[in-house]
Structures are given as C-alpha cells and as structure tokens.
A and B are shown apart, each in its own frame.
Chain A
Amino acid sequence: MSLPAELPYRHGKPLLPSLMARLRLLNPYTLVVGSVFTLLALPLVATLFYALATRWGASLTPDGLTIKWFIELWATPRFLAAFGRSILIAVSALILSLILIVPVVFLAHTRYPRLDNLMNGLILLPFAVPPIVSSVGLLQLYAGGPLPIVGTPWILIPTYFTIVLPFMYRALANSLRALDVASLMEAAQLLGASPLKAFFLVVLPNIRIGIQIAVFLAFSFLAGEFVFANMLVGTRFETLQVYLNNIRGASGHFTSALVITLFVFTLLLTWLGNRQPATEGQPVDEADDTLSGTDLTAPIHNVTPDADSRGTR
C-alpha cells in the first residue's frame, strides 16, 4: 500500500516546474496571510483613494487625484480643535492610569500575589460590560457624590481609564513577569537601596519598554474612541470621532481625508511604541574564557549521584 503523496512521483518524474511554482504560491500559509491582509487593507486603500480623488462617481476608477481634501481638512479650525481635545483627554487619561496602575502591578508582582488574581478578573470587566451599559453606570456614578463631573468633558478621563486598564495592566504585568522583579528588588535592597530607590533605579528602567508600548497602544485606541465620547459628553465637547460623526453628511472625500489622517497618526504612534532601542555591544559570549587557566582534562573525581535521590530515609 503506497502513500498517496508518492503518486505523482511514481515514475520518478516531477510535475511541471511552472505548476510547482504556482502551487507554492498557493500554499496554506500564503493563502491565509494574503487573504487576511487583503481583507483588512481593502477598506483602507479604498478610503485612501477616495480621499485623494477629485471626484469618484459613476466610473470604476477616480476621475483624478488631488490632495485638496487634506489641505482643506487641515485648514479647518473645528477639526484641529477636535484633534486637540482628543489628544488632551487621551493624554490625561493615560497619565492617570500610569500613576494608578504601575504601583498596583508592581505590588501584585512583589508583595501581594493574590492581588494579581483579583486584577486579572477585574480587567475583563471593561470587555464584559457593553459601553452602552457602562456609560449609564458612569453617568450615575459621577452625577453626584464627591466627584460631580457629569456634563463636563472631564468625565471622559476616568472613563478612558477603565478602557485602557486591561491593555496597561497586561502589558506591564508581562514585562514585570519577564524580569523576576522580586529578586531584583531584593538584590538592590541588600546593596543599600531603599525600596523606593530600588524601584526607580532598577525596576522602572527595565519595564520602560513595556510602559512605552502600553502607553502608545492605549493612546491610539483612545484617539479613535467614539461611543463614550458621544454618549457621555456629545457635541458639547467635540472629540475627533464625535466631529467625524457630526460631519458625516458633508463631503465623503473630506471625511475620508480625516480617517486617513487619523490612521496615519495611529500608525506613527504604534511604530514609535514598538520601536526597540538599538541593542549595543556584541552577542552573548558563550565560550567562557575564564576556563583558559583550568585543566579541562582533569578527571571528574568523586562524582556522586544527586544526594537527594538517595534520600534521608
């Protein structure tokens, strides 16, 4: 019984080379990655072309290319103001979340391991509760009490904090876990550093990359946030997405230019966030040159099997 795979080669003659090449192009990997990429890129490419088109009506291709929509967009004060507001709110929310989350993650990975379990459950909540539901809750929460900020744009800051919490917590937790932070803190303290100094001199520089990635990802996410901005504040404080929604009746080319601008901005931030600092120096020195002085041919004397296995009764 021969295997089916052997069939084409039964006479020792491979299939036509051109067919082989075409088949290789159609291997599952290329197919999957290619189709996903196309699926994701198609609307964006279409939007880009629409933003660059003079007019794109009845024909299959645009009538002509122009950047006048972009120029018009960037000259609109309302757009710039909305952009500014989005950045202001996102940056404030990120600062708040950094101040609150970094110490929590740190404590959860050093002193109170149980806190990590609790947080892992807690960070699922923003996903579990739909924005519509949570915005009602948030309106109730901030309607009175110690912080009555309903109706002001400031309500977006604590709201955005809840949105970015999962991203920030996970990214920071992962970078701390990779670090063996408990041992580093202990080592630093034994060398005379106070816990606070140890944290700032040893732990923080080592999770800088993690923080950087978390911040930029969260920022790009917040810049595109619409539901909460619209539900909680709406037209009184027009963020970028609310502005986009409000001008949806205007020229499609104009809104396309806005979408592309936002996308490029996000892309830039993501790239900045993922940029690693250039690694200095040479790779790991595997050959331990300290052994030059030792006699490697010396017999291994008195080698004893693991004493543990022998047991202490």
Chain B
Amino acid sequence: MLATDTSSSALAIQRDDTQREGGLLTSALRERAADQHYLKLSGLAKSFGSTRVFSEIDADIARGEFITLLGPSGCGKSTLLRAIAGLNNVDAGQIIVNGHDITHLPPQRRGIGMVFQHYALFPNMRVVDNVAFGLRMKKVQPEERERRVNEILRLVELTDHAQRFPHQLSGGQRQRVALARALVVEPQILLLDEPLSALDARIRRHLRDQIRDIQKSLGLTTLFVTHDQEEALLLSDRIFLMHQGRILQQGNAEALYTRPVDATAAGFMGHYNLIGRELAQPLLGYLSDGPRVALRPEALYLQPDSSLYGLQDSQVNFPTQALPSNSGPACPGVIRRHQLLGNIVRYEVDCQGLRLNIDVLNRSSRQLLPTHLRVQVYADLDEVQALADIPAASPTAKQAS
C-alpha cells in the first residue's frame, strides 16, 4: 500500500512538470476535447405516468455541430428537446454543456436559445422589443443592446420591419424574428422545434437555407427537430433517427440514407423496398444473409421487355438505362402505375409477386413508360442492404449504429 502511494505521488510530481512544460499544448488539447463533447446527454429518460416518452438517450455533440432529431410524430423528439431546454424535467440521466451539469437548472439559467414551431413571439412588443427582451433580462446596457439588436436584425434581414408588431408580419418573418430573438443573447446551444412546419413550401425552403447559413457563420451548436427527412438530409451534420423514444441510428446524412440499421430505419429514410429474404432471391440471384433486404427505389433499374412484344426501343422511345457494373439477374415484371414526383418518376412494378418502387429520372415526358408494360428489373447489388430484422423496440437496435 505504502509503496504504491509513494510511487503515485512521484508520478504526480512528474506529471506536474510535464504540465508546466507543455501547459499551452495540454490546455489546447483539453479545449479540443471539450469541443468534441460540448453537449453530452447520458442516460436521459422521461415518462409521463406509465407512458415512456424517451429512454436511454446517450449522445455526444461537438461544438458547432448541426444535429437533427428526426422521427415520426410521437417518437419523443420534441419532449427530448424541451428537456434539454429545461421546459420538461427528466426522470433520469444528465445533460452536460461545456463541462457543466445543467440537468437541474431552471430554463432561464441554462443559456439555451429556442425557436418554437408557432413562433411564440410576444404580441404586445414590437419586433425590436421582442429581440431586445433577452438582452434586457441580462441587463445589457442600452447602447450595447441597440447595437446587438440591429446587428442581429440585419442578419435575419428584418431591419425594415423593426418597428412592426408580430401580428403585422407574415409567418416567415415571424419565425425570423423568433430566430433573431433566440440568437441575440448568444446562447450556448440553439434548439429549433420544427421551426419550418407552420410555413408554406417556398418560404420554408428559403428559411431552411438561411438557418443553415446563420448557424454556420456563428458556429452555433444546434439541435433541430423535424419529421421531414428532406430537411434533415439537407441541413444536418449528423442525424439522430428516433423511434419510440430511442435513438435508433445516428450518423451523417449519407450513412443514414444509404445504410439503415434495420427495417424501421429503412422504412423512415428514403423509400426503401423492404423485401423478405426468399422473395428477394430472384432479384438478387443469391440468398441474402439477413432475413430482410432493403433496396432504395433508385438502386433498381427498369428496361422495357422488347423481346416479348417485338417492339423496337425507338418505338417505345425509352432509352435503355445503362446498368450498374454489379447488377443482379433480370427479373420480369409489369408496371402497375407511376407517380410523378417532379424530377423523379416512381414506378410501381409487379415483379414475381413483389411490389417494387423504382425511381427513374424524369428526363422527358415522352419517355414515360405506360401502365401494364412488361419490363425487366435489375438490382444494383452494391446497394443491397441485408437487414437484421430486429424489432424496433428492442434495446439492441441502437447498438447496431
């Protein structure tokens, strides 16, 4: 015992020396480490009565990261966000921001900014006063306050509307006021609770890009809640896919879109064709490892079956798609219907008892394939995902990520 004690104290002295020598270096390293774990959620759980809202939420979020909590309604993502803001308490777990445990702090002392779906602007105040509210609470001097309000209003392009009341603004403008109001106090973390859901499509796209630009320029750690996978894919550094109160999968957009961990994730991201192992065999040419196979609609290729009808390609006016280098065997099928999704045409094809969604780039309306046309379907074998068919609620699902 004694011996170890002396040796450890000697070690401590030694460490002290190295610290003195490379003090600058270690502090920089420590800072970087702190940046990597800027927001740390560990073991968060919350239930309302017997209903579990979320549980076993663990996440490490770096400074300046844009994280999206994506999931269907009722998956607990909004409640999780509100728990981080301090608007809901948690039953278990810790929320640590920049090394400080904020789990039990009241919302006004957390230094977290939040934007709500329905703006929550103060109706009795003009735009400037709404934005200045947080600074006034912090007792910032009037000159300083004015400067910062003007600066932030310029950032969200609302300088001309500073003297208006919220009810005189459009939805998009209101949400930008709400954004400015949250940003002006320079929060440690910005939370966005479906901020675009109440807006129409055009303004939504514009504000979406604006939020991303502002977040990047300020280097703000941001958590964004949405049920819209397009928004999630476009905005996020990382996406946390939530399902039934758990983080099912986390990763960047690319990983989530192309490599779903299980059938639930595949069902939410993209428009995966989920096929049982035996049924998929004629399409793949082999028996898959997992009990299920997931195939994105754009990883399937269509060719009109000219041999059957004796049609020439020119008659159908459908240029044969170049097949991928590693394509599966031809699988005969019949087109049942198609949906026009703008730049994509999604065909629903009956293929040996399988209903497959197949996406084709909409190059010209003359190239549309008619319903009931016989086709050959090819799968890009490089894009085939064999899924372990784990029930979504099981705790092991998360570890797969």
Contacts and interface: CB of A to CB of B under 8 A. Distances in A.
A57 interface: no
A154 B173 CA distance: 54
A191 B137 contact: yes
Contacts of A285: 161, 164, 168-170, 173
Interface stretch (B3-11, B109-117, B374-382): B109-117
Contacts of A313: 263-264, 267, 392
Contacts of B124: 202, 205-206
B122 A184 contact: yes
A188 B344 CA distance: 45
A307 interface: yes
Contacts of A287: 170
* Interface size of B as a range: 35 or more
Given A186-B87, A294-B202, A302 B107 contact: no
Contact of A307 (B112, B123, B229): B229
B343 A299 contact: yes
Q: Chain B at the A interface: mostly helix, strand, loop or mixed?
A: mixed
A236 interface: no
A179 B123 contact: yes
Interface string A167-206: 0000000000001100110111111111001000110011
A186 B118 CA distance: 12
Contact of B342 (A183, A201, A301): A301
Nearest to B233: A302
B122 A312 contact: no
Interface stretch (A75-83, A137-145, A258-266, A275-283): A275-283
Contacts of B137: 191-193, 197
A191 B133 contact: yes
A313 B133 CA distance: 45
Interface in A273-313: 280-288, 290-291, 294, 296, 299-304, 307-308, 310-313
A189 B106 CA distance: 9
B341 interface: yes
Contacts of A283: 168
B243 A312 contact: yes
A114 to B, nearest CB: 14
B337 interface: no
B120 A183 contact: yes
B167 interface: yes
A293 to B, nearest CB: 8
A201 B124 CA distance: 9
Interface of A: 179-180, 183-184, 186-194, 197, 201-202, 205-206, 280-288, 290-291, 294, 296, 299-304, 307-308, 310-313
Interface of B: 72-73, 85-87, 106-110, 112-114, 116, 118, 120-124, 133-134, 137-138, 157, 161, 163-165, 167-173, 176, 178, 181-182, 185, 201-203, 205-206, 227-230, 243, 263-264, 267-268, 271, 341-344, 392
